[in-house]
Amino acid sequence: MLLVDLQVAARNLTRHTRRNLFLGAALASVTGLLVLLGALTAGIEGSMMESATTLMTGDVNVGGFFKVTSGSAAPLVSGYPKVLEATRAAVPELDYYTVRGRGWAKAVSDSASMDLVLGGVDIAHEPAVRRVLQPIGGTLDELARPNTMLLFQGQAERLKVSVGDVLTLSAPTERGVNNTVDVRVVVVVKNVGIMSAFSAFIQADSLRGLYGLSPEATGAIHLFLKDRGQSALVAARLREEFQRQGWRVMEPDPQPYYMKLFQTVPSEDWTGQKLDVTTWEDELGQFKQFIWGIKVFTGLLVFILMVVIVIGILNTLAIAIRERTREIGTLRAIGMQRRKVLWLFMLETALLGLAGCAAGALGASALAAGLNAAAIRVPEAVQLFLSQEHLTFQLRAADAVSDVLLLTLVTVVASLAPALRAARLKPITAMHHIG
Amino acid sequence: MSIIQVRDVTKVYLLGKTQVHALRGVSLTVDKGEFLSVAGPSGSGKTTLLNLIGCVDTPTTGLVEVGGLDTSKLTERALTDLRLHQIGFIFQSFNLVQVLSVFQNIEFPLLLQGGLTKAERAARVNGLLEATGIGEYGRHRPSELSGGQRQRVAVARALVTRPALVLADEPTANLDSQTGQNIIDLMRDMNRKDGTTFIFSTHDPKVMAHASAIIRIADGLVAVRELVGATA
Ligand SMILES: Nc1ncnc2c1ncn2[C@@H]1O[C@H](COP(=O)(O)OP(=O)(O)O)[C@@H](O)[C@H]1O
Ligand SMILES: [Mg+2]
């Protein structure tokens, strides 16, 4: 029987070629769009997360704040070697770590200035930075020298400087006076997404110099685990361990450190050193929000499209089913149950939906692959925003399949109402139906 | 024993705001194995009566019993089952499924019933294809057939489940007299061999002559029930 059902459904589809082609094409284009948008979002997310995680945070970070007065705050871990020792003892999952200075300064060139979140790096021990950053002028190794700095391309353009030029960094210190240091730009690297808008790297000791810090002070220890999935667990354990060993530890707060530095910590009523253990997810909260925003936007777009499509499908199906009301009446009269009638129509729309949506998904995949291969340059203005220099789609088969299934389901559900209406008619009424 | 009981049945159609009284109080009893003709002029209510007996429509008032069951008390599902298993209906306009072949159209009620093997179904369908004289058209689509040929497909489809009751609404109206005769002979055969009850409407006296009894209706009322000489 199923074979006959399928045959009936398939033949009915081919009988109204024009209308079904129209419906199929509509479904195909929506699925295609859905797949493309999904792949683009995934592409953005992929590149953004890659760069952001490797540059801004470890899997787990041991940072902290030092407050000279209750109204101030500096992103500091003083006496970090001891903290590091305790950390290494408590985290057998550790793969490797880096020690990062944290700071914030105004960079001033001959012709312009901008605020920058600074990372103080010991470039010899920063494998991730070397992996992710692509110099377009100078070399990364130069960053090992004192009073040197790395800028992203966009920053260099904005400050109108290039490799070899000198910048003045001006930073507020704990005592409320501005310290300055002159640094030479030794390397300019390609932008890597939104983070390259506001953060730059300087040699670690230069950062200490800027703030007048001892060699035992740093911003944070970035821990990279063998398995990133363990991050939350390790963070919780570290908090406990630090507390047990007498450090003061801050409550978990899923925000990047610079948000805490500028917003929450200065208004807290305590002084001295506190440690703050965060995970990569805490630090990237804003990136995640941004990606979430993109997803909401695409989701909304898709929803609107779906509504339009569903209305279109409902209309077309209603017409199709009305045309076949007589046939339904006959089938009912010779003993076909209502649910069987429904089943036949569902089968028909499911076939149509599956064919249309699959075609759309395949088309979109081909298009995405083609666009990837063509390596289309994203306009400068949007590059930063999308974390992409070239338009990159990240196709995930599972996503495409679920898109196809979702839209097929929507189609089938949309067909239920008109089919139900036809199936409910008295057989004789249906048989005498005109139209 | 009666297979059909119709008591004081009326049927009123609404045509816009006007009421059409198609049946005005019809009562009749049909016994098992009858070969009954419903005769009357066009518009007298033959089709309406057959539709009510065939459970594809419901009366405005009155009682319709099929096989001892009060049809007004049955659920839609039970009625559908009744139509599938007990009743074969030959409609005035053939009402075939356009996308299925002739063979598949005839086979369809068997598929709905389930229970027979493919070979058994094929045997039945082929037997009826032969008996109705359209043996070579099994693979054709209904749209490729003439009106008379389509009518024969409709007849075969109604008979294929070997129902206890066959309702035929002017089964010979679209056929030439020879084919019409063949169809009547086929039905008469089934009636004799299997005891299938037949009720068919017609206004052709030659066809009526084959009936065991004739119900004459006019203006939605049974005028008279006549016995024809050659009773089974
Ligand atoms: N669906 C309907 N709506 C309105 N009037 C109908 C409908 N079906 C039949 N009639 C009317 O009911 C009367 C009986 O019709 P019908 O049973 O088809 O007669 P017959 O089959 O004997 O020609 C006729 O006057 C016809 O016009
Ligand atoms: Mg009629």
* Residue A85 clears pLDDT 90, i.e. is over it: yes
- Phi then psi for residue B4, to 5 deg, are -125, 135
Query: Please, which residues have CB within 8 angstroms of residue A210's CB and are 6 or more apart in sequence?
Result: A103, A105, A169, A171, A179, A180, A181, A202
A195-204 average pLDDT score: 86
Higher pLDDT, A264 or A306: A264
- Chain A hits for B100, CB-CB cut-off 8 Å, are 4, 7-8, 11
Q: How far apart, in whole angstroms, are the C-alpha atoms of residue A102 and residue B117?
A: 80
* Distance from C-alpha of B151 to C-alpha of B106, rounded to nearest angstrom: 12
What is the pTM for the complete model shown? 0.69
Q: If you measure from the C-alpha of residue B81 to the centroid of ligand 2, how many angstroms do you get, rounded to a whole number?
A: 25
> According to the model, what pLDDT value does residue B231 have?
43
Q: Which atom of ligand 1 is nearest to the CA of B44?
A: 22
* Spans of chain B below 50 pLDDT: 230-232
Interface touch A335/B81, C-beta < 8 Å: yes
The reply to whether residue A327 touches residue B111, judged by beta carbons under 8 angstroms, is no
Give the whole-number percent of chain A exceeding pLDDT 90: 38
Of A12, A334, A426, the CB nearest to B83: A334
Res A435: pLDDT: 54
Q: Ligand 2 centre and the CA of B51: distance in Å?
A: 10
Residue A218 burial (CB < 10 Å; 0-12/13-18/19+)? buried
Give contacts of B76 with chain A, Cβ < 8 Å.
338
Can you tell me which atom of ligand 1 is nearest the CA of B50?
17
Nearest to A313 by CA among A29, A101, A55: A29
Say if the Cβ atoms of A426 and B111 lie within 8 Å: no
Centroid of ligand 2 to alpha carbon of B193 (angstroms): 28
Q: Is A383 exposed, middle or buried (0-12, 13-18, 19+ CB in 10 A)?
A: buried
One-letter identity of residue B164: A
Strands B18-31 and A94-108: unpaired
In degrees, rounded to 5, the angle at the alpha carbon of residue A394 between the alpha carbons of residues A390 and A396 is: 170
DSSP state of A379: P
Residue pLDDT, tens place only, B132-157: 889 999 999 999 998 888 988 999 99
- As a whole number of angstroms, the longest Cα–Cα distance in chain A is 95
Average the pLDDT over A137-144 and give the result: 92
What pLDDT digit, counting tens, does each position of A155-183 carry?
A: 999 999 999 999 999 987 766 678 899 99
Dihedral pair phi/psi, residue A264, rounded to 5°: -90, -50
pLDDT tens-digit profile of A32-65? 988 888 888 888 777 777 777 777 888 999 999 9
pLDDT mean across residues, chain A: 86
Give A346-404 pLDDT, tens digit per residue: 888 898 899 999 999 999 999 999 988 887 777 766 665 666 667 788 888 888 999 89
Most confident of A6-15, A208-217, A303-312: A208-217
CB within 8 Å of B99: residues ≥ 6 apart: A8, A11, A12, A15, B141
Residue labelled with tokens 């057998």: A92
Which pair of structure tokens corresponds to residue A188?
Answer: 């300019």
C-alpha distance from A287 to closest chain B C-alpha (Å): 56
User: What's residue B230's pLDDT?
Assistant: 46
pLDDT of residue A363: 94
Mean pLDDT on A72-89:
91
Q: Which residues contact B124 (CB under 8 A, 6 or more apart)?
A: B110, B116, B160
Query: Which atom in ligand 1 lies closest to the alpha carbon of residue A429?
Result: 1
Mean pLDDT (whole number) for A133-146: 91
- Mean pLDDT, residues A395-421: 87
Q: Give the residue carrying structure tokens 């063509």.
A: A374
B110, B160 contact by CB (below 8 A): yes
What is the reported pLDDT for B172? Answer: 84
Q: Tell me the CA distances in angstroms from A299 to A29, A87, A98, A408, one per residue in order.
A: 16, 42, 38, 17
- Give residue B40's region: left, alpha or beta (phi > 0; psi -120 to 50): left
Any idea what DSSP says for residue A246? T
Tens of pLDDT, residue by residue over A273-304, are: 999 999 988 888 777 777 788 888 888 888 88
Q: Is B57 within 8 Å of A428 when comparing Cβ atoms?
A: yes
Q: Which of A1, A427, A429 sits opposite B111 (nearest CB)?
A: A1
